[in-house]
Structure 1
Amino acid sequence: MPGHRSIRRVSRIAAAAAGLAIAAISPVSLLAQSADASGKAPVFTAKSGWYKDALIYEIYPRSFQDSNGDGIGDLNGITSRLDYLKALGVDAIWLTPIYPSPQVDFGYDISNYEGIDPQYGTMADFDRLVAEAKKRNIGIIMDLVLNHTSDKHPWFLASRSSKTDPKRDWYVWKDGKAGGTPPANVPNNWESVFGHSAWEWDAKTQQYYYHRFYIQQPDLNWNNPAVRKAMYDVERFWIAKGVVGFRLDAITSLFEDPTFSDEDYVKNPDGSIKINAYGDKEVKTDKTDNLPRVNDVLKELRKTADETKGRKVVLIGETYVDSIADLRRLYGENNDALDLPMDMQVGFINRLDVSEFRRNINDAETGLNGNEPLFVFDNHDNPRWDRYGDGTHNADIGRMLATILFASRDTAMMYYGDEIGMVTTPPTSKDQVKDPIGITGWPKEKGRDGERTPMQWSEGPNAGFSKDGVKTWLPIPASYKTINVKSEVSDFDSMLNWYKQLIELRRANPALRDGDHVMLNTENNDVLMWLRKAPSSDPAQPPVVVACNFTARPQTVSFDLSGQEVNGKGITSRKAKTLMKTPGASDPASLDAVQLPPYGVYIGQVE
């Protein structure tokens, strides 16, 4: 950031990038107080709100760090990078599934809920990861897959062995429609999320089983109390292992309409039935998603988590819902369900529309009964942040999106590699595809390999992810030569340093950390502007203003602070101290004329 280059120190990122023999100089956040000294790092204690304003970092274990040279990331690899994550400012790590699995869906098809898949390591390796993370005040969050198991799980093997087996009712089995023959007489027109019918014929027992996802992922029957007990026992098992929370996969899909009647079809604007990427007539999901009984299970999961003594165990939901009212219900009427349902309505707008961002952020800040929203822009199931890019200003757009994530009142969830600007790198031909979605849907659906490529640590062999000469499970993108941790540590204006400074600023500034979020200049549909007011616990703290230019054109804006108060007094000052700004931008003389470059950002503290 020009104008502040004299304020430098040896970056903690540089010092902590394990395995990188560098001592680069990099900027600090423009603060007198560091993140470590702020006293805001989470303490995982009972009844604490450690997850509020936390940074949760999603790791796809196959792709983070390979420690043994087999081309697949593993637990010891993650442990080796904990100092890097600590220096970045991470509070908790969400691990996608590491349980034993046939790996049809790369771990989301689980064959044993209380073990570790050998390709990721051993239970001793997991225990070491938890212990080493705890030393750095980083919590471990497990991915708990409750909707379905692998078809190789002992429960399902028993269930499909006979109609009279005690575990038959652990899964959803139905007869075919009368008058037809398999596979044409499926019970209804429900579809798998991953293409084609959601029903699979079992010749041995002459019934169909239901699978919301892959054929190899049969759905559990959550109407069965024995299923619930078994899963709550799994929850207790991992809590005893020291985890600080769970991300609940596909949690809104636990129940099905008991009538098992057909869904309505999705229509195009001309009235014709929509055809999806798999060539199917697309059906709605009113009878298979977000049914009322889901909240009963959430409350029971919460009750189980709250049995824990000595630390708060947080429940995070994978919650793709249609409205802020749907999201609000997932917290529970008495805040007795999810702690953090994921708000996908902000980060997955997927177009740079100021009015939509403003409306959806404002809904989250004002429509959740004061609860903390969890904002998400990227994950392992969706193209990375560069889906918002225009091909010319991608880096500035990336900085802008990061600013929305970290300068809002929210718990922030990010995906590994976001901090260095890793981009989506999809396969270029079907023979390269590993993800079954891409194999089924090619070429309209290329699958999710593009957002799961190995972490880019350096410009060296295999990007520092694995040993030289090893074939990695997915190819290393060509972008690793310039987009990598080692190169960006020493670049003052890199994406990595932008993330680092945002995270430090958020942690140390009271208004950004704990203050209210108020939208400003709501008539402006080119620039998103907001105010972070001083928290009630520290009302004398100065407020912070933020502006993000959503256009490729320079913009000059004046912050409208009329009617805004701090500590019972109106905000009259038009002066601000610059906290952060897009590289190359100038400091404004007044809040009456803040100049923003294309997709530019300004963050200032009102004086």
Structure 2
Amino acid sequence: MTEVARKWWKEGVGYQIYPKSFCDSNGDGIGDLQGIISKLDYLAHLGINIIWLCPVYQSPMDDNGYDVSDYYQIAKEFGSIEDFKILLNEAKKRGIKIVMDLVLNHTSDEHPWFVEARQSVDSPYRDYYIWQKGKTDEWGNETEPTNWASFFTPSCWEKDEQTNEYYMHIFSRKMPDLNWANDKMRESLYEMVKWWLELGIDGFRVDAVAHLDRDFSFTDSHMPSHGKYKEDWSKFSNMPLVHTYLKELNEKVLSHYDIFTVGEVGGGADVNEALKYAAYDSKELDMVFTFDHCWANNGYDSLNETWTNRVNLYDLKQVFKKWQLGLQNRAWNPLYWLNHDHPRVMSQYGEATHYHKESGKMLATSLLMMWGTPFIYNGEEIGMTNADHLTFDDYHDVSTIEKIKKLLGEGHPTELIERYIKVTSRDNARTPMQWDQTENGGFTTGTPWMKVNPNYQTINVASQLEDEDSLFNHYRRLIELRRFSDYKDIIVYGDYQLVGEHHPNVYAYVRTYGDRRLLIVSNFFEKPTTICLPDLTAKQMVISNYKDSSMHLPCLELRAYESIVFELV
């Protein structure tokens, strides 16, 4: 085992807050900063010590704050900069650090830079964004500069009638992409980043960081596909200059502060690509979020009539193995089941009807005992489930709305589209936090901006705080083990070894630090199963999701979703 540098963020536990849905303090139906402040004691009780705060900057809210119109102001829905300073101060009193979401790929089309840029092709801000003239097709009709698709819309180009050119947007039409090739634009962003760090925040989650460079040849994609627009993300993902820009940002700003940074590189990056961003000697970021563990139930195939929501555990184990071993001693690893862009893990990999508590605890143990810094998404600690919206009109997410339009236009059966959206929509993670059994789950005294999941009557914070055996209290115990127990060094810094690799129902791994070892073993399914690990002997049980779990290694019988942590001889 190679000793790595100890850092506060390696030994911490993060908690992601989606501000709009967390807690509403003024009855307008929208979560806000004062609402978050009112729940800091709750978060301290849970045991987390890092808050990742989704964007709270001034924004028209086309994409719930990821469309920034002023980086230096707080959105009026969320409060004021004074509220933010109070949040920062009150969090620090409780030993909690604040990490901001940093949106560098794009702004809102209402940002002053873009408002100026679209006034004239000669505007000094024109080159802050990416513009191209249209092309003429074989029939003489004007068409977009390229056939590239956007993540949210059919084309990643939008015509600006005033200047008769197209601007690029790889997300919403109202989120024009910034041109990182422009030196002045980059310097303006660096000044903004420095301003927030001087205010006292403790780091950034860098949104869409893989997309800061583009294929500036603007040549059409020849990717095979049925539609006119090609979902060829290679045209603007993980391109070489991204690393030049990030090294510059690190050198000029980030390296001068005791902070940490985690970048969103998505599902397209492999281990070697991730190491370019976050290797210990990369001088770019401290960690990267990847998405390839989020869809081991093949949820994106739910448009297919034969699809069933069955976890492919072997594939999931291979993904964990890839990142746990691929980054070990070379970079640091973030751990998470979901974020604001993914379905609820309880609905993906758990069983919320008959084994809510057991499967939720199993998922918590499987994740929090691995190597890396864990991030819990708000509501995960009580086992919140997917939105379960009844009609298309209940969805608010801009990408979901565009997807519904596209699928209806392609003629897919409505019932399959409904299932697909229920499985994949980003709104699944964005329903309001379920605090108690009162109306709207205690989230607001007004009308919530999005419908509260009707199961708030049975899944809520208040009932779990009172239950010593609750999912919430299991998370508390796991966080206590990671942060303060005698096992801290094994869990935080220990090596990882996957065992029982080909077992179809059990995820098992060993953590080793010096001469001490932990075995984590979890049945991912309702059906009881047995796993034999003949070379391992249990010394004692550290934690389990059943009160009467067996110590009978080497052959262990596991009940539905049973999960146990052993210290080994």
Fold agreement, TM-score > 0.5: yes
Match in the other structure for 1:157: 115
Task: Report SS of the residue matched to 1:425.
Answer: coil
Counterpart of 1:514? 493
**Equivalent of residue 62 in structure 1, options 13, 16, 20:** 20
1:426 is displaced (CA, Å) by: 4.0
Q: Does the alignment pair 1:381 with 2:302?
A: no
Q: What is the aligned-residue RMSD (CA, Å)?
A: 2.1
Q: Which letter does structure 2 place at the counterpart of 1:521?
A: G
Counterpart in the other structure of 1:552: 526
Partner of 1:330: 277
Instruction: Please point out which of 231, 253, 260 is paired with 2:189.
Output: 231
Task: Give 1:367 deviation, angstroms.
Answer: 1.3
Match among 577, 582, 586 for residue 549 of structure 2: 586
Checking the alignment, whether the CA contact within 8 Å between 1:263 and 1:286 is kept in structure 2 is no
1:575–1:334 Cα change, 3 Å:
closer
Deviation of 1:498 after TM superposition, in Å, equals: 1.6
Counterpart residue number, 1:287: 235
Partner of 1:571: none
Q: Among 124, 127, 143, which residue is 1:169 paired with? A: 127
Report percent identity of matched pairs.
35
Range with bigger deviation, 237-246 or 324-333: 324-333
Cα pair 1:65 1:73 within 8 Å, conserved: yes
Of 296, 314, 325 in structure 1, the residue corresponding to residue 260 of structure 2 is: 314
User: Residue type matched to 1:85 in 2?
Assistant: L
Task: Give the whole-Å Cα distance in 1 for the aligned partners of 2:373 and 2:93.
Answer: 22
Question: Does residue 356 of structure 1 match 2:334?
Answer: no
1:599 aligns to 2:561 (yes or no) = yes
For 1:551 and 1:388, the matched residues in 2 are separated by: 9
Matched with 1:7 is none
Matched pairs, number? 530
- The 1:355/1:301 distance shift into structure 2, 3 A limit, reads same
Partner of 1:129: 87
Give the conservation status (yes or no) of the 8 Å contact 2:117–2:128: yes
Which structure 2 residues correspond to residues 403-418 of structure 1 after superposition, within 5 A?
403-418=365-380
For 1:417 and 1:304, locate their aligned partners in 2 and report how far apart those are by CA, in whole Å: 37
Partner of 2:467: 491
Q: Deviations over 1:538-586 (max 9, x none)?
A: x35x321110113332123233447xxxxxxxxxxx2321111122543
Aligned AA (1:120) = F
Match of 2:169 among 208, 211, 214: 211
Deviation at 1:404, TM superposition (A): 1.9
Instruction: State the one-letter code of the partner of 1:456.
Output: Q
Which residue of the partner structure matches residue 443 of structure 2? 465
In structure 1, the partner of 2:408 is none
Cα deviations by residue, 1:365-422 (Å, 9 ceiling, x for unpaired): 2212512211221111111111224555454332222112100011111210000001
SS at match of 1:319: strand
Task: With the length of structure 2 as denominator, give the TM-score of the two structures.
Answer: 0.88
The answer to whether residue 435 in structure 2 is matched with residue 452 in structure 1 is no
Q: Which amino acid aligns with 2:82?
A: A
What amino acid does structure 2 have at the position aligned with 1:582? Answer: N
CA contact 2:538–2:566 (8 Å) conserved in 1: no
Following TM superposition, by how much is the alpha carbon of 1:500 offset from its aligned partner in structure 2, in angstroms?
A: 1.2
- Inter-partner Cα distance in structure 2 for 1:575 and 1:414: 29
CA–CA distance in structure 2, aligned partners of residues 305 and 499 of structure 1: 35
User: Which residue of 2 is the match for residue 526 of structure 1?
Assistant: 505
Could you tell me which runs of 5 or more consecutive residues in structure 1 were left unpaired when the two chains were aligned. 1-46, 267-272, 563-573
Give, in whole Å, the separation in 2 of the partners of 1:179 and 1:552: 56
| Structure 2 segments unaligned to the other structure (5+ residues) | 298-309, 405-413
Q: Is the 8 A contact 2:15 2:375 kept in 1?
A: yes
Which residue of structure 2 aligns with residue 346 of structure 1?
A: 293
State the one-letter code of the partner of 1:383: P
Does structure 1 retain, via aligned residues, the 8 Å contact 2:328–2:495?
no
Confirm or deny: 8 A CA contact 2:150 2:231 kept in the other structure: no
Give the Cα separation in 2 of the matches to 1:604 and 1:274: 52
Counterpart-to-counterpart distance in 2, 1:55 and 1:347 = 20
Tell me which of 451, 457, 470 is aligned to 1:475: 451
CA pair 180-94 structure 1, distance change in 2 beyond 3 A:
farther
CA contact (8 A) 1:343 1:375 kept: no
Asked if the contact 2:278–2:332 (Cα under 8 Å) also holds between the matched residues in 1, the reply is no
- 1:130–1:243 CA contact under 8 A, matched in 2: yes
| d(CA) in 2 for partners of 1:494, 1:369 | 33
The reply to whether residue 576 of structure 1 matches residue 539 of structure 2 is: yes
Higher deviation after alignment, 368-377 or 235-244: 368-377
Match of 2:57 in 1: 99
Which residue type is aligned with residue 291 of structure 2? M
8 Å Cα contact 1:400/1:548 also seen in 2: yes
Q: Which moved more, 1:426-435 or 1:70-79?
A: 426-435
How big is each residue's C-alpha offset from its partner over 1:406-456, in whole Å with a ceiling of 9 and x where there is no partner? 000111112100000011114322332222223322263644323211111
Aligned partner of 1:75: which letter? L
Flag the 1:486–1:242 CA change in 2: closer, same or farther, 3 A.
same
SS at match of 2:265: coil
Distance 1:170 1:181 in 2: 33
Kindly indicate whether the alpha-carbon contact (under 8 Å) linking 1:458 and 1:464 is maintained by their aligned counterparts in 2: yes
Cα separation, partners in 2 of 1:367 and 1:84, compared to 1, 3 Å = same
1:215-260 deviation digits (Å, cap 9, x = unpaired): 1100010000111101111110100111101111111111110211
- SS of 1:548's equivalent in the other structure is strand
Deviations 1:344-367 (A, max 9, x none): 233443463332233222222221
Pick one of 381, 384, 390 that aligns with 1:422.
384
1:368 equivalent to 2:327? Answer yes
The offset of 1:127, in angstroms, is 0.3
Which structure has more helix as a fraction of its residues?
2
SS at match of 1:400: helix
CA contact (8 A) 2:221 2:230 kept: no
What's the CA shift string for 1:487-525, capped at 9, x where partnerless?
A: 011223321122111111222213223211112233433
Give, in whole Å, the separation in 2 of the partners of 1:227 and 1:116.
Answer: 21
Residue 302 of structure 1, aligned match among 224, 246, 250: 250
Please tell me the residue identity of whatever aligns with 2:272: A
Q: What is the rounded CA distance, in whole Å, between the counterparts of 2:161 and 2:139 in structure 1? A: 12
**SS of aligned partner of 1:330:** helix
Partner of 2:410: none
Counterpart of 1:232, as a letter, is: Y
Q: Any conservation in 2 of the 1:295–1:332 contact (CA below 8 Å)?
A: no
Distance 1:189 1:164 in 2: 26
Q: Distance in 2 between matches of 1:529 and 1:491?
A: 28
Q: For the residues of structure 2 that align with 1:347 and 1:188, how far apart are their CA atoms?
A: 31
Q: Provide the rounded CA distance (Å) in 2 between the counterparts of 1:474 and 1:219.
A: 28
Summarize the Cα distance change of 1:264–1:283 in structure 2 as closer, same or farther, 3 Å threshold. farther
TM-score by length of 1: 0.83
Distance across 2 between alignment mates of 1:459 and 1:218: 42
Contact 1:305–1:313 (8 Å) recurs in 2: no
1:595 is displaced (CA, Å) by 2.2
- In the other structure, the counterpart of 1:40 is none
CA contact (8 A) 1:315 1:339 kept: yes
